[in-house]
A = this chain, B = another copy of it.
Amino acid sequence: RNAAKLMGANNVPSENVINTILEKTYYNVETHNAESVDWFTVLIAQVVSQFREDARADDSMLRSLNDLLNGDIIPDFIDKIRVTELNIGDDYPIFSNCKILYNRNELGQSQGQDGLEAQIDVDLTDTVTLGIETRLLLNFPKALFAVLPVSLSVSIVRFSGTLSVSLRKSPAVPKAPNTVPASSNRSANATSTSNSDDANDGTTYLSFSFDPNYRLEFDIKSLVGARSRLQDIPKIGQFIESRLRKWFTDRCVSPRCQQIPLPSFWPRSKTTAVVPPATNANTNG
């Protein structure tokens, strides 16, 4: 008798694996047309809609925004910033033009079988508004010469960009230097460098990032107060805009990317559910 064993093709170099995948899936990177992803737009919209429902009963987004805008160093002309209102919008991102491309960077460096990614255009026209209250501190001719209460409305009115998405069995790239693996982070025990041959825990990672040429448009209005010195309001608006933009760039804009460990999708008893049968009224409909 043969001992238990696994049969399979020999290991082949990374580039061959990628070419074999493209051949067997009938995808020619050079000639394949971009595909529409309207169905994906709808599924994501449904989740966004449900998140908005929940967010209305939850102040955690307001708290996070307050922490973000008051974190690090605030310019000496701005007092503490209070986010008093949040309108989370009512429109949905539209995804389009999905293509498979080589990740040239990784392929060139032969970093394992991570050479293919999907690129998708994302476009969101919506109005996501932060109501902000702070005080403008005038330090000339002397420190705290005047203090003017200011109310601003800062709106994100447009986002468009190119999203790159890939699925990988191991993290493709090292953690950002400013991150510390937390014990609750499922990727903490996984391979942390791309050139390591260590086996990881079998987790699949979804990686995504946006191309640096993204567009993020703001609309900033002064609501009340400080009418006498409107020329100073833009400085506060610009500070808040730059804070929000930096938050996004530091996490999601290439060369930065998000690497999210995915659960196993293998069918198991414990993740099985049963859809109840439709009522008679429905089955006749």
Contacts and interface: CB of A to CB of B under 8 A. Distances in A.
Contacts of A274: 173-177, 255-257
A49 B271 contact: no
Interface residues of A, number: 132
Contacts of A91: 24
Interface in A210-253: 248, 250-252
Contacts of A252: 267
B176 A273 contact: yes
Interface in A38-67: 38-47, 49-59, 61-62
A271 B40 CA distance: 23
B278 A104 contact: yes
A85 B35 contact: no
Given A176-B274, A272-B179, A38 B27 contact: yes
A100 interface: yes
Given A275-B173, A282-B109, A38 B42 contact: no
Interface in A58-108: 58-59, 61-62, 83-88, 90-92, 94, 98-100, 104-106, 108
Contacts of A7: 85-87, 129
Given A8-B52, A167-B43, A269 B176 contact: yes
For A6, A91, A285, which residue has the most chain B Cβ atoms within 10 angstroms? A6
A177 B275 CA distance: 11
A270 interface: yes
A258 B263 CA distance: 12
B263 A275 contact: no
A49 B17 CA distance: 8
Interface in A175-227: 175-182, 185-187, 194, 199, 202, 204, 206-209
A113 B53 contact: yes
Contacts of A129: 7
Contacts of A142: none
Nearest to A194: B276
Nearest to A88: B8
A175 B53 contact: no
